[in-house]
């Protein structure tokens, strides 16, 4: 018995020593313990919530999604009426969130890169204007900027009759931006197919040109070729198909325009606020990425006879992108989440119509908030995954 007890105690001490001093075993052991604690905490929270809801006689479930909504939504990208269900409310809010986030990212990226490069310009006036823009807008809370654009700029515009007439039969008034509405006809699918084929062909040509230049040193006009494939080829198909795209021109009838398409003031205020605010942080990210590139790269490009614009476009920016992309991803995520401030100016995004109106009508707080949080999590993870893929594409490959 004594020998057996000693052997068991020796094995126990050996196991403890392995857990404490072996880095691999210790790491897995403590991670397992953390997971057990987290799962235990989650189980306790869920159990406590269920018990409290039963005690308060609060129902739980997602059957409310099939109930009649009973309220209207000002901006609806899909068919929607007051008789639609709360599931339709969710889809309208989700699409509005995706629309303002995608457009905001697009415009913020263009403005941010332009301003970031302008801050490094040798033109004194251009650099100072870019600096004033960045230092002013990034130090004013986004909510105040949204209210400024909506209340102090767009709401005080004149009515449609006295609105600002813009090119292409467009009108800007306190009702929004009225523009011609595109109407597609038969054969437009061929034009779309031509655009897709042009993009695929331009990618193939770009890869071929890159390999050719690496092998022979001879450059190829990739930009001109891509423009011909993506723009020129679809235009040829467009005219051959009989121009299957017309525009419905808005007409002033009474106190408002009829026909065409309208960009509501709420969406315009969201785009102005989100784009201009986020662009200030993107500009600083771009400026930092460019400054991180050795000045010897600029001198080498000048020695090869490249002009300043070519040096920035072909030498500096491609190298700086490896530094810019990771923090740029964070700004994209911030813009998407900041779109939830739309509630303050009445833009019907997911938070306003689903986590707001649907929650108040149905009373299903846990379900509605849980769905809303899950949606934002999925959007953020998808954005991060896409940017990580792009970052891997432009990363340096060591040999």
In this prediction, residue 15 has a pLDDT band, given cuts at 50, 70 and 90, of low
pLDDT number for residue 18: 62
User: What 3 state SS string does 296-354 have?
Assistant: HHHHHHHHCCCCHHHHHHHHHHHHHHHHHHHHHHHHHHHHHHHHHHHHHCCCCCHHHHH
Q: Tell me the pTM.
A: 0.82
The answer to whether residues 262 and 252 touch, using CB atoms and an 8 Å cutoff, is no
pLDDT tens digits, residue range 228-282?
888 988 899 888 888 888 888 888 887 788 888 888 999 999 999 999 999 999 9
- Residue 223 in tokens: 């930009």
Confidence of residue 335 (pLDDT cuts 50, 70, 90): very high
Cβ count within 10 A of residue 264: 17
Q: For residue range 118-144, list pLDDT tens digits in order.
A: 998 888 999 999 999 999 999 999 999
The Cα–Cα gap between 265 and 296 comes to: 48
pLDDT grade for 88, boundaries at 50, 70 and 90: very high
């Amino acid at each position: 018995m004594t020998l057996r007890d000693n052997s068991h105690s020796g094995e126990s001490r050996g196991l403890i020593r392995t857990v404490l001093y072996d880095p691999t075993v210790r790491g897995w052991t403590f991670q397992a313990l953390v997971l057990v604690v987290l799962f235990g905490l989650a189980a306790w929270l869920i159990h406590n919530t269920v018990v409290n809801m039963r005690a308060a006689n609060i129902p739980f479930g997602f059957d409310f999604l099939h109930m009649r909504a009973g309220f209207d939504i000002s901006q609806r990208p899909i068919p929607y009426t007051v008789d639609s269900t709360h599931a339709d409310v969710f889809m309208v809010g989700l699409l509005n969130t995706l629309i303002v986030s995608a457009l905001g990212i697009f415009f913020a990226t263009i403005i941010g890169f332009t301003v970031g490069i302008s801050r490094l310009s040798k033109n004194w006036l251009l650099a100072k204007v870019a600096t004033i823009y960045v230092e002013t807008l990034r130090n004013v809370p986004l909510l105040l900027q949204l209210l400024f654009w909506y209340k102090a700029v767009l709401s005080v515009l004149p009515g449609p009759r006295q609105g600002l007439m813009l090119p292409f039969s467009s009108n800007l008034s306190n009702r929004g931006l009225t523009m011609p509405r595109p109407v597609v006809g038969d054969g437009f699918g061929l034009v779309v197919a031509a655009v897709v084929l042009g993009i695929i062909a331009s990618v193939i040509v770009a890869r071929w040109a890159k390999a050719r230049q690496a092998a022979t040193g001879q450059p190829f006009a990739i930009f001109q070729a891509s423009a011909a494939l993506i723009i020129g080829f679809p235009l040829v198909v467009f005219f051959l198909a009989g121009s299957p795209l017309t525009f419905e021109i808005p007409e002033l009838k009474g106190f408002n325009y009829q026909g065409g398409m309208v960009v509501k003031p709420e969406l315009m205020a969201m785009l102005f606020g989100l784009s201009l605010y986020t662009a200030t942080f993107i500009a600083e990210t771009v400026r930092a990425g460019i400054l991180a590139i050795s000045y010897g790269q600029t001198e080498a490009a000048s020695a090869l006879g490249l002009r300043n614009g070519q040096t920035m476009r072909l030498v500096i920016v491609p190298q700086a992108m490896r530094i810019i992309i990771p923090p740029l991803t964070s700004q994209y995520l911030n813009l998407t989440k900041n779109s939830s401030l739309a509630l303050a100016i009445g833009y019907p995004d997911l938070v306003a119509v689903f986590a707001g109106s649907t929650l108040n009508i149905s009373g299903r707080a846990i379900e509605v908030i849980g769905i809303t949080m899950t949606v934002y999590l999925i959007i953020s993870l998808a954005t991060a995954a896409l940017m990580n893929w792009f970052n891997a594409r432009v990363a340096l490959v060591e040999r």
